[in-house]
Amino acid sequence: MARAVLSQADISRALTRISHEILESNKGSSDLVILGIPTRGVALARRIAANIARIEPEASVPAGALDVTMYRDDLSHTRTRTPSPTELPVDGIDGRTVVLVDDVLYSGRTIRAALDALSDLGRPRAVRLAVLVDRGHREFPIRADFVGKNLPSSKAERIFVRLDETDGEDAVVIEGGED
């Protein structure tokens, strides 16, 4: 049975809050780069960048995509992934604060892969992590700096983030049962 846990309005509020938190943490928008992890992380990253532009109209925060497919350590254990191109919206990440954005933080494997991918692109001053949903069950010592919703869940449950850009609607749905 599926149940909605975040509505369109909930997602919008969470992303607005995350945008403010990023600006506060960075003390403004200077040297920020926001990189989403495909697929839904890219849409979320672009929304956060747009929110920041509304909050600070003089700010121009570049948003792009970071493909982590070939850096994953679980390719043989998961469904086949089609690589998406990395879209780096700046000349380089050296000395910048990079905010990685993903839809759901679960085991931490995707973020570990993202950190490896980033190291091939340069040496950022700092890397921060923003996620719409943190569901727990970490396998790596990784924690998000900015979280839209902490959603403790059982391993038997699945969390689906649906975004207008990819799915035609904004919602977060949880499906499944107890362990």
Q: What is the pLDDT along the chain (179 residues), one digit of tens a residue?
A: 889 999 999 999 999 999 999 999 999 999 999 999 999 999 999 999 999 999 999 988 999 999 999 998 876 666 656 778 899 989 999 999 999 999 999 999 999 999 999 999 999 999 999 999 999 999 999 999 999 999 999 999 999 999 999 999 999 999 987 54
DSSP 95: T
Asked whether residue 1 is assigned to any structural domain, the reply reads no
Cis check: omega of the bond before 82, within 30 degrees of 0 = no
Q: Which residues have a Cβ under 8 Å from the Cβ of 64 and sit 6 or more positions away?
A: 33, 34, 35, 36, 42, 45, 86, 87, 88, 89, 90
Asked whether residue 145 is assigned to any structural domain, the reply reads yes
Half-sphere exposure (Cβ direction) of 137: Cα atoms closer than 13 Å: 17
E runs forming strands in 19-122: 32-36, 63-65, 97-105
The domain total for the chain is: 1
Asked whether residue 149 is assigned to any structural domain, the reply reads yes
